[in-house]
Amino acid sequence: MENMKQRRTIRKYQSKDIPAELLNDLLETSFRASTVGNMQAYSVVVTRDAARKEKLAPAHFNQPMVKAAPVVLTFCIDLNRFSKWCEWRHAVPGYNNFEWFVTGAIDALLVAQTFCVAAEEKGLGICYLGTTTYNPQMIIEALELPELVFPIATVTVGWPDECPNQVDRLPIEAIIHHETYRDYTAEDIDRFYAYKESLPENKQFVLENNKETLAQVFTDVRYTKKDNEAMSEALWNAMKAQGF
């Protein structure tokens, strides 16, 4: 557990490869994660080929990890395999809907995170690419995902070539609620966000972006309402186009 407490996201990797046996062992371990009805409503696409990474990179806003990591994993919701099994067994599947998009996402994400914990235990470094839900359609095309398959998380994996500082987290009492949800007062928010707001790197972001508060860096620069709404629509359309 010490390993899990000390973890940091790794964005720079050595050029050293990941042996297929190790990768398969880590993936097999991750497939022991809980899954709804033991249906395993997920698939994992392994990208090692430079040309394929080249195709995938624009979907991830050309973040350098995509081409620099020896392995890129795309964890997908997959109701295609299960539905095919049903059809070839004289059973009528009913998994092309929102409920199973979400259920498949849960299945796939438990696998993704189990993989990451296991990989870090073996000394590998990982980075989740938040861009997966921004440009799903480009990923669907690059990986040739059929109907009822949808990319939900992308993880770059490799041997660490950096040891960044651990980033801050909110105090645990900001996250944990007892028995019922206790909504936040202005005083709670001040207390819980004080440390984050006090960090020199965050003060620097405020200055650099010519903003008054750190929150404005998020709302006006990083994740604007306008961008979020455009991404919502694209995500929804991609989900529908994949048959959910």
Q: According to CB under 8 A, which residues from 150 to 169 bind a second copy?
A: 152-153, 166-169
> Shortest gap between Cβ of 200 and a second copy (angstroms)?
15
Count how many residues are written for the chain.
244
Nearer to a second copy, 59 or 103 (CB): 103
Number of residues that bind a second copy (CB under 8 A): 115
- For the record, the structure tokens of 145 come out as 């995902």
Of 53-72, which residues contact a second copy (CB under 8 A)?
Answer: none
Provide, rounded to whole angstroms, the least separation between the CB of residue 27 and a second copy: 6
235 binds a second copy (CB under 8 A): yes
Q: Which of 63, 68, 113, 160 binds a second copy (CB under 8 A)?
A: 113
| CB of 129 closer than 8 Å to CB of 66 | yes
Q: Which of residues 34-53 bind a second copy (CB under 8 A)?
A: 34, 36-40, 42-49, 52
Strand, coil or helix: what is 133? helix
Considering only residues 12, 159, 220, 243, which one is a binding residue for a second copy as defined by CB under 8 A?
A: 220
* Region for 118 from its dihedrals, namely left if φ exceeds 0, alpha if ψ lies in -120 to 50, beta otherwise: alpha
DSSP string, 55-116: HHGGGGTT-THHHHSSEEEEEEEE-HHHHHHHHTTT------SHHHHHHHHHHHHHHHHHHH
Q: Please provide residue 53's backbone torsions phi and psi, each rounded to the nearest 5 degrees.
A: -60, -40
Distance of alpha carbon 108 from alpha carbon 110, whole angstroms? 6
CA distance linking residue 132 with residue 135, whole number of Å = 6
**Residue 19 Cβ vs a second copy, minimum distance, rounded to whole Å:** 15
C-beta neighbour count of 92 within 10 angstroms:
7
Is the Cβ of residue 13 or residue 82 nearer to a second copy in the bound state?
Answer: 82
Q: Which stretch binds a second copy (CB under 8 A): 11-19, 59-67, 141-149, 157-165?
A: 141-149
Nearest 5°: phi and psi at 90? 55, 40
Candidate segments 11-19, 59-67, 73-81, 156-164, binder of a second copy by CB under 8 A = 73-81
Identify the residue among 210, 224, 240, 241 touching a second copy (CB under 8 A): 224
Options 16, 213, 240, 241; binder of a second copy; rule CB under 8 A: 213
Chain position carrying tokens 């059973």: 91
- Which helix (H) or strand (E) covers residue 42, if one does? strand 42-47
Binding mask 165-204 for a second copy (x = CB under 8 A): -xxxxx-x-xxxxxxxx-xx-x--xx-xx-----------
